[in-house]
Amino acid sequence: MPEPTPIAPTSVMPQRDERELQLQRLVARRLSVAVGEPKRDPLGVVHREYAPLAYKLPWEVLEYVELLATYNPDYSQAVDNIRTLANSGHNLFVDGPARTTRRVKELLEEKARSVQNSHGGIDGLIDKLLKQAAVHGAMCGEWALSEDLDDVVDFVDVNPKCIRFFWEDDHYAPYQKVTGAQAKEAEERGQKVRNNNCIKLNELTFHYFAFDAAPSSPYGTPPFIAALANIAIQRDMIHNMSQIVKKVGLLGMIDLVIKQLPRNPGETDEQYESRAGAYLDEYVTVVEDMVRDGGVVHFDDVEVSTTNIAGNAAGATAIFKQNEELIFSGLKSMPSVQGRSYSTTETYAGVAYDIIIRNTLKYQRACKRMIESGYWLMATLRGEQPKSIRIEFKSNKTLQRLQNAQAEAMEIRNAGMMWLSGVIDQLGFAQRLGYDDVKIEYEVPPDGLVGSSKDNDPAPTENDRDQDSGRNGNQPPPSQRGEDLDDDGDEP
């Protein structure tokens, strides 16, 4: 068998023109982008488009979402929905000895009014923290202490985009990015500085809560970042629509046929084209002014006609609506919540409302931890030692309050039956209803907890009542049925 011909090393192979190779690479790259690289890399285009927004999120994106949260209608409404629904009001609970509980609660209620006083106290602070979470995907801030370190005087909210984490002592330590002059002053005060513009924060008073963080990353991810690409498309579409409305107006496309200008003696082609173009531009300006005034006045050497293009508006509306729906998906919202009437059913609106309510719970939990940490610090610095300090957000009203109340009553009744049957004890009864412990201990279930078997029967329906009345109430007396009665007036 003949030996195969060996392949020559690259160094001795014929070389091709480098410019030709670069041109072929450019053509191949354009073709791969156009067709999505179906054979070599099916996800290549998607990866190149979204990779910068994945685990290596540019800091500039945080500045961009800040602007959108203020100036873009849909984005700002999504942020406001989170802030409005999550801040449903809260109650403060302090457990411990009676005197300690009373003193601590009075202290914390006074602090709730004085902290961030110009922004409405603790309620205003919660609003600011919720907006941080909805915009940046993180909420952070620091409880400010007095010079003697014996009291909490205020809360300083820090912009999450200024926070940098560095790996120190087996954990991520928080730093705040500042100007060079601020970093120099902090270093003179004894604070640790890194990279000449990041000062270390006190981990006992500063708190940072991240949402939807990437694996092994301490930074939060903006919750509505998936909507950015379609918001950019929407901006271009609105700009194009505004230009069309401005040019076309209500009349449609105006077509003017103007008599051609005669050529001047000795005029070159370039001179003629320049003079004719300037004449047409001046004519367009004059006609636009007349259209805005409500009419077009011209000599008989000009023909004016209009072309109605409103017939294609439905197609443009469908495209705009489709892009809007993608934006709402990126905003984790729905058209009905954003003020659109794409679907008007009550069930659809209820589902959308419940989804947003559930989405706000994680932001409420972070606010709860932030406020409770400050309250604990206030009580500790005053020498108080209560058993527990907690805040609980009030529940948002649902759209099915009656059904929920009926379901809760049935759950209580079922748990009571299990307690009465000996399947669970009182603690198990409380835990099935969502409570950690009981306030008053009972040896046996109290009377009236479960009720009689008749009380446990479901309420009769209208059909049942009709059947009962048909069997009993609607029957005529025997005399009217044609039946004989005995002497005593009784039926025989």
pLDDT at site 456: 45
Write down the domain spans for the chain: 18-53, 59-223, 228-262+269-317, 402-459
pLDDT of residue 16: 46
Residue-wise pLDDT tens digits, 156-165: 999 999 999 9
Other C-beta atoms lying within 10 Å of the C-beta of residue 486: 8
Cβ(141)–Cβ(157) under 8 Å?
A: yes
- The span from the CA of 343 to the CA of 356, in Å, is 17
Q: Fill in the amino acid letter for 435.
A: Y
What is the pLDDT at residue 177?
Answer: 93
93: its two tokens: 């609970």
Number of helical (H) and strand (E) elements in the chain, helices listed first = 15, 11
How many whole angstroms separate alpha carbon 128 and alpha carbon 113?
16
What pTM was estimated for this model as a whole? 0.67
Residue 463 has pLDDT above 60, yes or no: no
Task: Look at residues 89, 81, 63 and name the one whose alpha carbon lies nearest to residue 134.
Answer: 81
Rounded CA separation 283/262 (Å): 16
| pLDDT grade for 54, boundaries at 50, 70 and 90 | very low
Looking at residue 469, what is its pLDDT? 54
Using CA atoms, how far apart are residues 292 and 290, in angstroms rounded to an integer? Answer: 5
Predicted confidence band of residue 33 (pLDDT cuts 50, 70, 90): very low
Q: Which residues pair with 138 in a beta bridge?
A: 210
Please answer whether residues 226 and 162 qualify as being in contact, where contact means their C-beta atoms are separated by less than 8 angstroms. no
pLDDT at residue 480 tops 90 = no
Q: Which one has a higher pLDDT value, 215 or 105?
A: 105
Q: Is the pLDDT of residue 32 over 70?
A: no
